[in-house]
Amino acid sequence: MPRFKLIPEKPNVNFIGRRVIFFIFSALLIASSIGMFSAKGLNYGIDFTGGIMIEIKTTEPNQISLLRERLSGLELGSIELQEFGAPDDILIRIQRQDGSEEAQQQAVTSAKEAMGNIVAEYRRTELVGPKVSDELFMNGIYAVVSAMLAILVYIWFRFEWQFGLGAVIALLHDVISTIGIFALLGLEFNLATVAAVLTIAGYSINDTVVVFDRVRENMRKYKVKPMDELLNDSANETLSRTVVTSLTTLIALLALYMLGGSVIRDFSFAMIWGVLIGTYSSVCLAVPSLMYLGVIRRSSDDDNEVEQTSA
């Protein structure tokens, strides 16, 4: 019985020949993402806008649905509940209320009255002020920028600076488009989303490194093959691995999105989008960009010299 093959054994997709189409599509995607961010902005979560955090222990496990039902009727704005280590440990986040600290304390009192006898113990009650939320927001930006710079340096030393620049172009494309889709759909942007963006960057660069490694291998193997043909062959040779890896990851993420509950739904959505757009950018942006970045093909003598120096 013949085996099912998702990707042909020797695919021959003309990625390089369609590079102009890919570049135009990506430019429109980035422009529209920036436009959506400028026009609508992001729906920042409690982490970035400030608010109230209450950690409780319930009298019985798995009471999160009942708590959500009781708190949703208080009209306190955005309220997030999640299990915190055990089924009877719940972390509640309530958005910052309009007014002074007295308004925040009143919201805490209202929430405690609504929860009533469900709560066995109040372990922690904190007010996240604007200063703390601003610090969290800036730290999130620093984390993303630092990760991208570190990736640039790593790829630069692992390959050449042209490869590093091509990888960062693809990463910027992924990050900006993720922010754009969150602005378009009005999904909550919080620290979990920042973690998703960092995870997307790691996933995308993993795919990119695999393809770049095959490009470098083929550049040493084929000294006279035209660069566009060499890049296209490299992308096709790693296509099966890229697609199969992405699909298996998507299966797990779709399960999390559909069955994981509202707490991680936005995170799962960001990851699903990131896997799709990261796979696209690794093959259709990072590799074709090398055509314009002046990648230099090493001669055999250069390779031998590098090997002797390493030894």
Residue 117 exposed, middle or buried by CB count within 10 Å (0-12, 13-18, 19+) = exposed
H, E, C per residue of 170-233: HHHHHHHHHHHHHHHHCCEECHHHHHHHHHHHHHHHHHHHHHHHHHHHHHHHCCCCCHHHHHHH
- Nearest Cα neighbor of 56 from 28, 27, 81, 34 is 81
- Tally Cβ neighbours within 10 Å of residue 83: 15
The class of domain 51-128 in CATH terms is alpha beta
CB within 8 Å of 305: residues ≥ 6 apart: none
User: What is the dotted CATH code of the domain comprising 19-42+133-301?
Assistant: 1.20.1640.10
Cβ atoms 287, 211 nearer than 8 A: yes
**Local confidence pLDDT in tens for the 311 residues of the chain:** 455 565 666 767 788 888 899 999 999 999 999 999 888 888 877 777 777 888 888 888 877 888 888 887 777 777 888 776 677 788 888 877 777 777 878 888 888 888 888 878 888 787 776 666 677 778 878 888 888 788 778 877 777 788 888 888 888 898 899 989 988 888 878 778 888 888 888 888 888 888 888 888 888 887 778 888 888 888 888 888 888 888 888 998 899 888 876 667 888 888 899 889 988 888 888 888 888 877 776 654 444 433 333 33
Residue 308 pLDDT: 39
Q: Does the pTM exceed 0.85? A: no
Query: Where does the chain hold its CATH 3.30.70.3400 domain(s)?
Result: 51-128
Q: Are 149 and 97 in contact (CB under 8 A)?
A: no
Bridge partners (DSSP) listed for residue 122 = 56
Q: Which part of the chain has CATH 1.20.1640.10?
A: 19-42+133-301
